[in-house]
Amino acid sequence: MTPKVRIPLIEARQQRQWSQQEVADRLGTTQNNVSRWERGITTPNPYFRAKICTLFGKSAQQLGLLEEKTPSTTNEKGTLAAVESSSASPPDKSTLWTVPYRRNPHFTGRDELLDWLAQQLAPQSQKEESRTRGATLSQPQAIKGLGGIGKTQLALEYAYQYAFEYRAVFWVAAETIDTIDASFTTIAEQLHLPEHEEKDRHKIIKAVLHWCATHKEWLLIFDNVESLSLVKPFLPTTRQGAILITTRLHALDGVALAFELPPFSCEEGIQFLLRRTGGSDMRSLSEQDSLELLKVAKAVVETMGGLPLALDQAGAYIERTGCSFTDYLHMYQSHHIQLLDERSALAEHPYSVVKTILFSFQKLMEVNEAAADLLRLCAFLAPDAIPEDLFTRKEVFFGPALDLAVNDAYRFNHVLGEALQYSLLYRQPQSHTLSLHRLVQVILKATMDETTSHLWISRDVALISASLLPFQEKHHGVYDDRYLLHAHSVLQHIEQWNGGEEQALLVPIWYYIGLVAEQYSQLTEAKNAYLQGLMIAHNSHSSLEAAFLVHAGFMMSDLGHDQQALQYLEQGAELARQTHDEGTLCFSLVHLGQIQDNLGNYQVAASLYQEGLAATVRRHDWAMASAFLQDLGIQLVRRGDYEQAEVLYREGLSYAQQSTHLGRQSALLMNLGMLAIHQQQYDQALTYSLESLALAQQVHNRYRISSISQNLGIIYRLLGQLEQAQYYLDEGLTLAQEIQHSWLIAETQGEYGWLYLEQKRFTEAKEMFEHMLVGAQHIQAPELIARALFGLARVASQQSRWEEARSLAQESLEHYTQLGDAQQDHISQWLDAFSSGLPESFSFQ
């Protein structure tokens, strides 16, 4: 019987002039699947059948997609094979067959892998022509991976789906010598070999291998190979057929070409779960209910890390109890180990996820205790991207077994090799990181009592803290964020402990989390991390208490809470003076000065900058020195002394370059660009600003990117390129709002006001200046208040509201005069021009 080509499906596609790939893209599947559906080789499951009907606007009957009472599939030769088999009988009685398992009716996905296996294991008859040309015959293939990843199921599906490509399909249970012997005896019986009744096992093995050597087009599957030395004597030495191996072993020493079987993708996992629970036909559900079902199914898949065995257990539980996916997730929170260990005795794979993973771990403990300890350490970290250099800290005690290995690269590689061998750990050599499946972590943690858990978590905290030592004395720079997820992971475990001594271990971790969040302008997250760490640092009398105070104050300032920020910064500065911590003191001085600047207290700010500059130069802290020079330069710009400001900016840029601090270089270039704007040197301003932007993007400094984008908006507005100006202001405001930087938000809103004035969109301009004024008043920023008032004055004059314009400008002038800001001269000139009846002839940048 040959497959029935689905002509209506092909015609529906061709009517729309779509290729198979275009249909695949619209359905979220592969071109290979579409081809199989059209040729009748496979039938789309209910999930895809519904999507196909929606895509073409036709019923399943009209497209020829209705399945027969017995769902079926065929191979590419056109021979029919039952999708569900009530027994482990071959798809065709003419095939010699010893596969002991029924076909899995819930098998889902893996289409590309099945196709790839088919290409690699093509039967001998298909390679005759290649052989005559001297081509290499098929190499043994191995599917390797973590227990429960679906290796056996993939091999089983391949056997059923491609059985008609072979004259014989033999299955060998390869766990032990006894199971292998039993399998070979079964094969000998199937082949009716005279030796099948022999008591001498060697004669049976020899007879089967001789048959393989003298016959073609056979497939020999060695399932669950636990030892290469055990299975090697049973491998046919001639290449008359195909060999497929499934194994947890990582290295196969040339026995076979291996590929690592990954967990289900999200889509594959959802399809499998729906199919396993009988919820795959969603046609009776509303669109909203369907989307909700898919959303919760996705959550189950992610919780299980896409592990097929875990999803099969979850599906079986849901099917048996009739609970919803949401109910299952709630149940998993409190009973995860019970659910992961629950497996029906009737299942073809009788071992649960827990037993499967613990079996591998116990085998690992038998051969290498240090490798087992490495896994225990990794159990409490984030599952992915674990830096290998975490385990090279000589100042940390890893335990007697692992301690000997981590101090020697050769021994450590050996330890990693043992852990890799059982697919419990994965290594990414390019990034020098390790990873493990989340369920391996869940199960390993569940096997530890409270005392043992505390021991390994404490060691994790110690090794992360040791890795963070270089950051403790740094208040600026680029911080290595590779440890961030792992820092959060140990925090989640240790926060539940009550001991003050144990909590004190977290001080450097909270500081590191705050520094990384600050680096990426995550102001609220950084502030919260610093405040959490500050509480522990204060109670434990940590040397980092002053640093927590200063950085928390810095974040509060950026969030617009200057009064709170002053309190924290002043306390931090005082504590830094008492402890002779000059680095922290200088960091506090620069930010205290900036707040005083924002409040209009320019003389106080200048004094703080001078004190800090002297200290940083004395300490050769060139990056921080550049910050003080920048802020002193800004003060000169306010007084209109552009020439001297440029001198300070260039000296600061030289210091920043000397320190190789890209963030500081970006800041000084940005200020040189702003200075060029004041001097109406717009081309020069553009050059500085674009160079500054490139550096800020390189270090992912969102605050700086937002500031520079605002400057570019000003430059393009003054150059008359209003569309470009709008683009950069949009970029700047979006980032400012993301990082919740109150000053930047208000300042950028003001620049929108000037842009809208240029476009004669007076209502929108007025609205933007009003927003700026409210924001400036909220953070008590006199300079921004003055700028907003003058913007509103310009809008009023454009709308011929003369008295209102004069009043607003006068109020703005009073603020600038109190600040001693050079802008007071510009306002005075505008008011003089206003009195002469020519206010709009005056240019104001």
**Alpha-helix residue ranges (DSSP H) falling in 699-779:** 702-718, 722-738, 742-758, 762-778
Across the range 668-676, mean pLDDT stands at 95
Looking at the DSSP bridge assignments, the partners of residue 259 are: 143
Tell which wins on pLDDT, 196 or 188.
188
Q: How confident is the model at residue 840 (pLDDT cuts 50, 70, 90)?
A: low
Question: 453, 446 in Cβ contact below 8 A?
Answer: no
Q: Could you tell me how far CA 805 lies from the centroid of its own chain?
A: 53
Report the C-alpha gap between 821 and 635 in whole angstroms. 9
Q: CA–CA distance from 25 to each of 54, 115, 751 (Å)?
A: 14, 19, 44
How, if at all, do strands 72-74 and 80-82 pair? antiparallel
- Rounded to 5 degrees, what angle do the CA atoms 383, 384, 385 make? 140
* DSSP element (H, E) containing 522: none
The pLDDT > 90 percentage for the chain reads 58
Looking at the DSSP bridge assignments, the partners of residue 386 are: 434
Across the range 477-499, mean pLDDT stands at 84
Report the C-alpha gap between 213 and 237 in whole angstroms. 8
Report the C-alpha gap between 744 and 709 in whole angstroms. 11
Q: CA–CA distance from 398 to each of 424, 426, 503 (Å)?
A: 19, 20, 20
Report the C-alpha gap between 488 and 508 in whole angstroms. 12
Q: Which residues contact 33 (CB under 8 A, 6 or more apart)?
A: 24, 42, 44, 48, 111
Handedness of CA 767, 769, 773, 779 (dihedral sign): positive
Across the range 711-715, mean pLDDT stands at 95
How, if at all, do strands 426-428 and 242-247 pair? unpaired
Closest CA to 223 of 212, 214, 234, 215: 234
Across the range 260-285, mean pLDDT stands at 84
Both tokens assigned to 523? 């102001």
Does 326 score more than 90 pLDDT? yes
Report the C-alpha gap between 92 and 106 in whole angstroms. 21
Q: Could you tell me how far CA 245 lies from the centroid of its own chain?
A: 33
How, if at all, do strands 426-428 and 433-435 pair? antiparallel
Q: Which amino acid is at 27?
A: L
Average pLDDT along the chain: 87
| Most confidently predicted of 123-127, 238-242, 555-559, 817-821 | 555-559
Report the C-alpha gap between 701 and 250 in whole angstroms. 41
Across the range 454-460, mean pLDDT stands at 90
Tell me which of 89-103, 719-733, 739-753 is least confident. Answer: 89-103
C-beta atoms surrounding 780 within 10 Å = 14
Question: 466, 393 in Cβ contact below 8 A?
Answer: yes
1-67 domain in CATH 2.60.260.20? no
Q: Which residues contact 223 (CB under 8 A, 6 or more apart)?
A: 152, 155, 171, 172, 173, 174, 246
Phi, psi of 224 (to 5 degrees): 65, 55
Q: How confident is the model at residue 133 (pLDDT cuts 50, 70, 90)?
A: very low
716-730 burial, b if ≥16 CB within 10 A, otherwise e? bbbeeeeeebbebbe
Report the C-alpha gap between 99 and 616 in whole angstroms. 76
Report the C-alpha gap between 204 and 197 in whole angstroms. 8
Across the range 35-60, mean pLDDT stands at 76
Both tokens assigned to 198? 């022999």
Across the range 332-348, mean pLDDT stands at 84
pLDDT at 137: 57
C-beta atoms surrounding 769 within 10 Å = 28
C-beta atoms surrounding 267 within 10 Å = 16
Q: Is 96 helix (H, G, I), strand (E, B) or coil?
A: strand
Does 78 score more than 90 pLDDT? no
pLDDT at 283: 66
Phi, psi of 709 (to 5 degrees): -60, -40
Instruction: List pLDDT tens digits, range 585-598.
Output: 999 999 999 999 88
Instruction: List pLDDT tens digits, range 772-794.
Output: 999 999 988 899 999 999 999 99
DSSP at 278: T
176-204 burial, b if ≥16 CB within 10 A, otherwise e? eeeebbebbbbbbeebebebbebeeeeeb
Instruction: List pLDDT tens digits, range 533-550.
Output: 999 999 999 999 999 999
Instruction: List pLDDT tens digits, range 83-126.
Output: 333 346 777 666 799 998 888 888 888 888 888 888 888 764 44
Report the C-alpha gap between 785 and 341 in whole angstroms. 65
Closest CA to 50 of 40, 63, 41, 38: 63
Report the C-alpha gap between 827 and 812 in whole angstroms. 8
Instruction: List pLDDT tens digits, range 600-621.
Output: 899 999 999 999 999 999 999 9
Report the C-alpha gap between 636 and 646 in whole angstroms. 9
Question: 487, 464 in Cβ contact below 8 A?
Answer: yes
Across the range 284-313, mean pLDDT stands at 90
pLDDT at 76: 30
Rg over alpha carbons for the chain, rounded to the nearest Å, is 36
Question: 678, 642 in Cβ contact below 8 A?
Answer: yes
Q: Which residues contact 474 (CB under 8 A, 6 or more apart)?
A: 515
Tell me which of 396-400, 580-584, 678-682, 715-719 is least confident. Answer: 396-400
Phi, psi of 435 (to 5 degrees): -150, 160
Report the C-alpha gap between 532 and 523 in whole angstroms. 14
Does 269 score more than 60 pLDDT? yes
Tell me which of 8-12, 60-64, 296-300, 449-453 is least confident. Answer: 60-64
Question: 391, 412 in Cβ contact below 8 A?
Answer: yes
pLDDT at 131: 45
Q: How confident is the model at residue 66 (pLDDT cuts 50, 70, 90)?
A: low
81-260 domain in CATH 3.90.870.10? no
Across the range 733-740, mean pLDDT stands at 92
Report the C-alpha gap between 836 and 590 in whole angstroms. 44
Question: 576, 546 in Cβ contact below 8 A?
Answer: yes
* DSSP element (H, E) containing 821: none
Does 130 score more than 50 pLDDT? no
Long-range pairs of 414-417 with CB within 8 A, sequence gap ≥ 24: 414/368, 415/368, 415/370, 415/371, 415/374, 416/371, 416/374, 417/250, 417/251
Q: Is 144 helix (H, G, I), strand (E, B) or coil?
A: strand
Beta strands in 372-471 (DSSP E): 386-387, 426-428, 433-435
Q: CA–CA distance from 10 to each of 18, 40, 65, 90, 715 (Å)?
A: 10, 11, 12, 31, 58
Report the C-alpha gap between 493 and 145 in whole angstroms. 29
Q: Residue written as tokens 């591998």?
A: 360
Handedness of CA 318, 323, 328, 331 (dihedral sign): negative
pLDDT at 521: 86
pLDDT at 837: 64
Please spell the DSSP secondary structure of 754-770, one letter per residue: HHHHHTT-HHHHHHHHH
The three-state DSSP-derived secondary structure of 455-503 is HHHHHHHHHHHHHCHHHHCCCCCCCCHHHHHHHHHHHHHHCCCCCHHHH
pLDDT at 67: 46
CB-facing half-sphere around the CA of 90: CA atoms within 13 A: 19
pLDDT at 400: 86
Instruction: List pLDDT tens digits, range 362-400.
Output: 999 999 999 999 999 999 999 999 999 998 887 788 888
C-beta atoms surrounding 19 within 10 Å = 12
Q: Which amino acid is at 518?
A: E
Q: Which residues contact 404 (CB under 8 A, 6 or more apart)?
A: 370, 411
Across the range 152-165, mean pLDDT stands at 90
